[in-house]
Amino acid sequence: MIQIGQYNELTVNKELAFGLILDDGKEGILLPKRFVPKNAKKGDRLKVFLYHDGEDRIIATTQHPLGILGDIVKLRAVNITPQGAFLDWGLMKDLFVPKSKQLTGMRTNGDYLVKIYLDEQTGRLAATEKIEPFLSNIGLTVKEKDLVDLTVYRRTDIGYVVIINNRHTGVLHFNEIFRDIQPGDRFQGFIKKISPGPEEDPADMRIDVVAGRPGYERVEDATEKVLRLLKENDGYLPYHDKSDPEEIYSFFGMSKKTFKMTTGALYKQRRISFTKTGFKLEETGTTGRPEAPREAETSATPEGPRTPKASEEPETPKTPETPKIKETPKKNETSGPSKTAPHE
């Protein structure tokens, strides 16, 4: 059974000069030629989006709209009529918003947060600004730590109300926001806390959310990013725990809290070290920068014999050989002055 306003996988039933006929179990659905994938032929299964064209026929497209049935998205008004407004949603035919479904009246080039729904009378897709009836925190479909899709709804005194998975509402507090956001912005987040609602309606749950991924899952993702940025910047970055949170977010795309957790974990793994002005990479051979000689190592050099490591067993004493006399450097050589072997 086909679903209007959704993506469907349908089989090519017939090839025509003006497109393909897809099998819907009835008369077939047209996929216009301009949207036919290269080399598509009879018998192929294609993923297509279904909606109604201007003549009220169901039609298929391989284009991707800005939203599908049930989505709450921000769209731009491109045409206003006495009956309603038309919004650009990325398809050939614009999405209609009846005047009765508008809050204060739409204007051309205005951006509006709307929900895409299926009109019961016409069976066609439409949009509405009246989102509240579709949102409820009674009978939640999410739990704490769940990854969710967030849509910014409106600003309040404590943060932003966000729409969760197009079904519930929650609060993204100001202290959890590290970049500019606007109503209609969409991003992933997770459920931080769920608590009972007000005394008069405790079943209407309150939800606090955070952008990004929960706990150390964020650190794991951030670790790869920090290491990549270090390698791309010659193994050093001028950021530390005193850096401005906005500067950190602007460069790393993460909160200062996540940044500190990530760099702290890398420091414990001895993959980075901190300096007075930032931190640097400690992995060998990752930046192309020559490593400074380590003073603690005493390998065999012209300055003296190698000092055995503590873990090595002492060798059986052998008759000492006559030491070779080191050749005196010529006057103009650049090897530097000779050094006296250290006394043990």
Span 63-82, pLDDT tens digits: 999 999 999 999 999 999 99
pLDDT recorded at residue 54: 84
Distances (CA, A) of 17 to 14, 21, 31, 160: 10, 11, 11, 52
Short-list 61, 109, 66, 65, CA closest to 85: 109
Question: Is 135-211 a domain of CATH 2.40.128.110?
Answer: no
The neighbour count for residue 48, using CB atoms within 10 Å, is: 21
Q: Are 22 and 28 in contact (CB under 8 A)?
A: yes
Q: Are 29 and 60 in contact (CB under 8 A)?
A: yes
Domain span(s) for CATH 2.40.50.140 in the chain:
7-61, 72-132, 135-211
Give the tens place of pLDDT for each residue, 96-119. Answer: 999 999 998 999 999 999 999 999
Q: Fold for domain 72-132?
A: OB fold (Dihydrolipoamide Acetyltransferase, E2P) (2.40.50)
Short-list 125, 129, 135, CA closest to 77: 129
pLDDT recorded at residue 255: 81
Question: Look-up: residue for tokens 């409106």?
Answer: 154
| pTM value surpassing 0.85 | no
Q: pLDDT confidence of 42, banded at 50, 70, 90?
A: very high
Better-scored residue on pLDDT, 255 or 211: 211
Domain span(s) for CATH 1.10.10.10 in the chain:
215-281
Q: Identify the architecture of domain 215-281 in CATH.
A: Orthogonal Bundle (1.10)
pLDDT recorded at residue 208: 96
Q: pLDDT confidence of 304, banded at 50, 70, 90?
A: very low
Better-scored residue on pLDDT, 306 or 137: 137
Q: What is the mean pLDDT of residues 6-17?
A: 95
pLDDT at 324 exceeding the cut of 50: no
Q: What is the CATH number of domain 7-61?
A: 2.40.50.140
